[in-house]
Chains A and B, each alone.
Chain A
Amino acid sequence: MALGALWMLIANLGVCAVSAALVRRHPSGSRSLDLVQFLLIRMLFISAAVGLAGLLGLLSAVPLGLAGLLALAAVLLTRAVPFGPLRLPALPAVPAAALAFAGLLMAAQVWFFVPVIGDVLSYHLPKIGEWIQHRGFTSEWGTDPRSTFPSGFELIETWWVVFLHHDVLLEMAGAECWFLGVASAWTLARQVGLAASSAALSAAGAALTPGLFLQATSGLNDGAVASLLAATTALILGRVPWGFLLIPVGLGLGIKPTYGFALPGLALLLWLDRREPRGMPAAVRTGAVLGSLALLTGASWYLRNLVQFGDPLHPMGRLGAFINEGHIAQQVGPRWTTLFENLRRLFDNRIYDREPYHPMLDLITGWGPFGLCGAVGLLWAVRERPALRRLGWAALASTLVTLSLVASDAWSLRFILFLAPLFCVGLAWAAEELPLLRPLAAACLLVQAAGVIMPASLPPGSLRELAGLSWRERSLGPYGAAALPPDQVGCMVGPGIRPYSLYGPAFERRVRYLRQETGAELAAELDRLGLNGFLGNPGGRPVKELLALGGWKRDVGSLYLRTPPR
């Protein structure tokens, strides 16, 4: 474990050094925009490195650590980065306190939290379990048909688990994306002409936005998409060369196709901004290389699906993805009815966040009071400032297109979470125009700080339970380490099955996926594999028949154990 931590440190230093060197070589003229570019380039290199290692079967600590060591050595030898003391800007007390609190809370949640969201356990993370155990990509898709969706976010998550061979730092992937969103909110505020103190307020609002914060520490990828959209907006307003602009586009499309839903609005912004002078000198070669790498990384998932399943959006099909019978989880193509239903639900009650803050944003927008007041501020600002007017039109276009493309359900408004950083800029602008609003902004930050301490996804008392566990064995759920067979366990393919908990926090347990149709076939397969336990659907035919055959009993939840064990 200590060696893994050392490789993780070296690899992170290497990727940071190369990213900083590139930013230093092609400065944008704005320190905050440089920070956004640094974070994007770092994310790109991480994604590309994990993707390549996964393809080559080299997905483990030593190869990735050695690559980081080489990168670090190259930067040190060429003296491409000036290593020196970090200078932090002087911030007003309220935004500084809010940012410090948010940073500390984020670190604590990364350390103590474990994945509990159904989608995350069902189809995001089981892939990582397979990749880590097999040291590369596999063709095992697990129990959920959505496993074949683009997995760009899982690449970043894999970066944070591969060195330690443990998922204790899994949420760092979300934290990186959250930080990108915060830096983007700061940058956007500066780009529309706000003072540094107002930019800090905007960043603090974004940092404590419940949707962005809680998505980051729950393993979900919608917050990452929102942050990448905010970063893309900042790059457009910063008039960066095309190649650099393609970095968040490639990364975003590789994380989730919903990133692409907002692109029409961003294209509009690009067009509205076309007469503004170029912000940074053209860097054709570097931009072409980075942009191509980003597009290749993002497009690889769609190409894989096209080759393997004949459809780049598999398993969407022509009608969409069905998870439960009759419910379309993801629709295909725009619909007027969807747009109006989503808008009605937005203005009807979800805009007020009337339900507890859940990372999936169940029946809420997750913008918090800061974002809600910021929406009013942005409406006011678009009358007064041309730069914000263009931003407002682009945001409106992105929102309408996105809401017409996502099935209207309890969670559909998480796809417009990208509005939150823009609204934060709106409130920061309003507070600059009208200092009377500063106490109100501070009160909003306080309310949100209290709201993001514990997400509604964790059961009451679970924080105490998690803090009481050693980090090596930290996990929640009905399939505790004591109940499960230690070396391997079976998992039947079916609705509601969430296999990630079976792997264990150190990926110590092999998961064998079972696809048998009858009890006899299931019994034979369990015997062949030598399994003493499996997860199955209690109402399913194979499980019922197996229990009738004898030799198996139901334990906790949908866990079945062999009696007596072999």
Chain B
Amino acid sequence: VTEPSSRRLSPLLLIPLAGAVWRLLARPWKDAWADAALWIFLWLLYSGWELRPERRRAAVCILMLALMARHCLEQLPWTLDMIRSL
């Protein structure tokens, strides 16, 4: 019988983690946080860690909120320009 704490993680799961590190190192933090969050989320989601359902849901909420905020901040100047031009 294998102890739950000694369960082996697949080396493939290091790929999302490496992705997160790459994103964080590749450019200034302000541009990279959403990318890194996505990769870390992927890692959490597929790493085999049995996150409790409410924590997984909280992770999804936080990530989506972050992505939407990032997207809106990117589009805001163009949207304001467009509204002014109408």
Interface residues of A (CB under 8 A from B): 347, 349, 352-357, 368-369, 372-373, 376-377, 379-380, 383, 430, 433-434, 436-437, 440, 443-444, 447, 450-451, 453-454, 456, 460-461, 463-464
Contacts and interface: CB of A to CB of B under 8 A. Distances in A.
B45 A379 contact: yes
B3 interface: no
22 contacts: A353-B71, A353-B74, A355-B78, A356-B82, A369-B67, A373-B67, A376-B38, A376-B41, A376-B60, A376-B67, A379-B42, A379-B45, A380-B45, A436-B57, A437-B61, A437-B64, A440-B64, A447-B79, A450-B82, A454-B82, A456-B78, A460-B85
Given A450-B79, A456-B78, A347 B68 contact: no
Contacts of A369: 67-68, 71-72
Nearest to A369: B71
B68 A352 contact: no
A436 B68 CA distance: 15
A379 B16 CA distance: 13
A447 B71 contact: yes
A461 B85 contact: yes
Nearest to A367: B71
Given A352-B71, A376-B38, 10 more contacts: A353-B75, A354-B74, A356-B78, A376-B60, A379-B41, A440-B61, A440-B64, A443-B68, A454-B86, A464-B86
B86 A463 contact: yes
A197 B72 CA distance: 25
B84 to A, nearest CB: 8
A243 B24 CA distance: 50
A379 B34 CA distance: 16
Contacts of A379: 41-42, 45
Contacts of B81: 356, 460
A434 B68 contact: no
A419 to B, nearest CB: 15
Nearest to B84: A460
A3 B56 CA distance: 62
B79 A451 contact: yes
Contacts of A450: 79, 82-83
A376 B68 contact: no
A440 B56 CA distance: 17
Interface in B29-86: 31, 34-35, 38, 41-42, 45-46, 56-57, 60-61, 63-65, 67-68, 70-72, 74-75, 78-79, 81-83, 85-86
A281 B28 CA distance: 58
Contacts of B67: 369, 372-373, 376
A354 B78 CA distance: 9
A512 B71 CA distance: 47
Contacts of B60: 376-377, 380, 430, 434, 437
A453 B61 contact: no
B34 A352 contact: yes
A444 B68 contact: yes
Contacts of A347: 35
Contacts of B83: 450, 453
B68 A453 contact: no
A477 B21 CA distance: 48
Q: Kindly name the residue among B46, B63, B85 whose own CB sees the greatest number of chain A CB atoms within 10 A.
A: B85
B75 A376 contact: no
B86 A440 contact: no
A434 B85 contact: no
A454 B61 CA distance: 30
A229 to B, nearest CB: 24
B7 to A, nearest CB: 18
A453 B86 CA distance: 9
Nearest to B37: A376
A373 B68 contact: yes
A383 B78 contact: no
B48 to A, nearest CB: 11
Contacts of B45: 379-380, 383
A460 B83 CA distance: 10
A453 B46 CA distance: 39
B85 A372 contact: no
B74 A352 contact: yes
Contacts of A456: 78, 82
A379 B60 CA distance: 10
Nearest to A347: B35
B63 A376 contact: yes
Contacts of A373: 64, 67-68
Contacts of B65: 440
A440 B68 contact: yes
A464 B86 CA distance: 7
Contacts of A354: 74
A190 B80 CA distance: 36
Contacts of A349: 31
A436 B59 CA distance: 12
B57 A454 contact: no
